[in-house]
Amino acid sequence: MMETSTNGLTPSKKKDNGEPKENLWSEILGEVQTQGTTKLPSNKSVLVLGDNSSGKTSLIAKLQGVEDPKKGAGLEYAYIDVRDEYRDDLTRLGVWILDGDPGHLNLMKFALNEQNYAHTLVILTVSMTTPWHWHDQLQHWMKVLDDHLISLKLSSEERQEQKQRLINEWQNYCESGDELDPSSPMKRTNRLSSVEDDLDLMPLPENCLSTNLGLNIVVVVTKTDYMSTLEKEFDYRDEHFDFMQQWIRRFCLQYGASLFYTSVKEDKNCDLLYKYLTHRIYELPFRTPALVVEKDAVLIPAGWDNQKKISILYENMHTCRADDFYSDIIAQPPSRKTVSNREVEIVTEDEQAFLARQQQILQQGQQGGQQQTRSVSPMRTPQSAGKSAPRTPGAGQGSPNKKIEAKLTPGAPSGEGVLANFFNSLLHKKSGSPGTPSGPNSLSSGTNSLTPRTNGTDGMVTPEKLMHLDAGAELDRISRSAAKKDLDFNEAPTSDC
């Protein structure tokens, strides 16, 4: 007895027990007809997580085909054009790049939420320039992702459905050489679904998906071209790279993640990463097998790896073991002084504060100058300060007489006249000493001796200059000059006779 199926496309038979028997060829034809009219979905997205300077922006720019990437802050958005050559269809894959700053973790809700949870793939990036941080960085971002998923208001049925989907993908994985027709656009998961129900699925490998988040995760190691620098400057050997690879492969096995070693600078595995993303998100064909020979271009699809394959790396590890703590083997080198590329910001000083500071400096300078001036006699001039300094010929004869005569001019202040009388009285007493004439002639001679000698100059001295004379030095010069004048005065009549 033949019955028409509910979709009206293929007939099916009933088993003896009353259950409908599937028609394999009819199922395949139905799927082909359905896929022929189905376009690539436009609600798929990628969330990129990782610390700052881990190469997230450069990696996505390479997948986009952008030569000059522009780095933003917070939560960046970009898109990647995806083309299905078989169906001649084109769509855009949205990409969210979260800043590595912990202060931006609250923005993750805009990139991963209840609406797109089932349609999101997560990329975790770590850089080969800092392999000693891999352990802490991957553990940190996995915890951030796990905590965020717990905060989402998802039903238990939806969570379990996504977790079971990952388990099925691992159990149904086959390498590219196992495909019956590599040119066929059919997906292997669809072909496997047509197999009879009594087919036993392969069990999960040991320690595989021990932490199942229900998300497709791809761990990407960027900047693998830095390996040569690690070898030259930090004395890294193949043993170190093998230890790093086996550790990160075991980490990926725990979360059911894929692993890619990439280098944007040398263009390694970037095209394969693009094709693999379209394979996991849009189920397009991906025929590249796992690559583990080249240490800087490792490619391990989800479902291929297991603990037995990882243990092959143990053969080259002689000074360390697989169960050693990661940071004990890949230790952070001593810190070096690095020159920052950022320019130091120069903050200008407030104008009023600058002027006030300059005024204070000037005031301190004036006070210091006054204190230094006070330490020297106020009557001492630079010429009189050094008694041993050579004197100009004739200077000791005319200068004191000029100064004293200036004080005898009419209209001089009373205080200055007293000072002049004081000097004259001293000269008068000197003239009365033995060997010098006395009496009226002496007074007249003393008066005549005070007549200024101009020598072509004015001969008038200002009161301000007089106040700066050294009294002791002036008295000494005046006494010598007066004695010489008296001597000349006494000898003059004899010569006239």
The verdict on 312 and 370 lying in the same domain is no
Identify the CATH number of the domain in which residue 316 sits: 3.40.50.300
Count structural domains, the chain. Answer: 4
Highest-scoring range by mean pLDDT, 84-93, 172-181, 308-317: 308-317
Residue 183 located in a structural domain: yes
What's the DSSP call for residue 314?
G
The verdict on 27 and 49 lying in the same domain is no
The verdict on 238 and 262 lying in the same domain is yes
Other beta carbons within 10 angstroms of residue 322's beta carbon come to: 16
The verdict on 29 and 125 lying in the same domain is no
Quick: pLDDT tens for 111-134: 999 999 999 999 999 999 999 999
Q: For the chain, what is the mean pLDDT?
A: 76
**DSSP secondary structure string, 169-205?**
HHHT---GGG-S-TT----HHHHHHTS-TTPPPPPPP
Beta bridge partners of 84: 89
Please, are residues 313 and 245 in contact by the beta-carbon 8 Å criterion? yes
Residue 452 located in a structural domain: yes
**Separation of CA 399 from chain center:** 74
Q: Is the pLDDT of residue 295 over 50?
A: yes
Highest-scoring range by mean pLDDT, 160-169, 355-364, 370-379, 425-434: 160-169
Sign, CA dihedral 475-479-485-486, equals positive
Q: Is 166 exposed, middle or buried (0-12, 13-18, 19+ CB in 10 A)?
A: buried
- 298 phi and psi, to 5 degrees? -80, 140
- Which of these, 239, 54, 227, 255, lies nearest to 139 by C-alpha position? 255
Owning domain of residue 219: 41-329
Residue 386 located in a structural domain: no
Residue 337 located in a structural domain: no
The verdict on 409 and 282 lying in the same domain is no
Residue 422 located in a structural domain: yes
First CA to last CA distance, the chain: 182
The verdict on 64 and 172 lying in the same domain is yes
The verdict on 254 and 213 lying in the same domain is yes
Quick: pLDDT tens for 318-339: 999 999 999 999 999 987 655 4
pLDDT band at 448 (very low <50, low <70, confident <90, very high): very low
Which residues have C-beta within 8 Å of that of residue 345, sequence separation ≥ 6? none
**DSSP secondary structure string, 77-116?**
EEEEEEEETTTTEEEEEEEEEE-SSGGGGGGHHHHS-TTT
The verdict on 419 and 282 lying in the same domain is no
The verdict on 247 and 307 lying in the same domain is yes
The verdict on 60 and 144 lying in the same domain is yes
The verdict on 26 and 99 lying in the same domain is no
What's the DSSP call for residue 132?
G
Q: Is 307 exposed, middle or buried (0-12, 13-18, 19+ CB in 10 A)?
A: middle
The verdict on 293 and 356 lying in the same domain is no
> Whole-model pTM above 0.75?
no
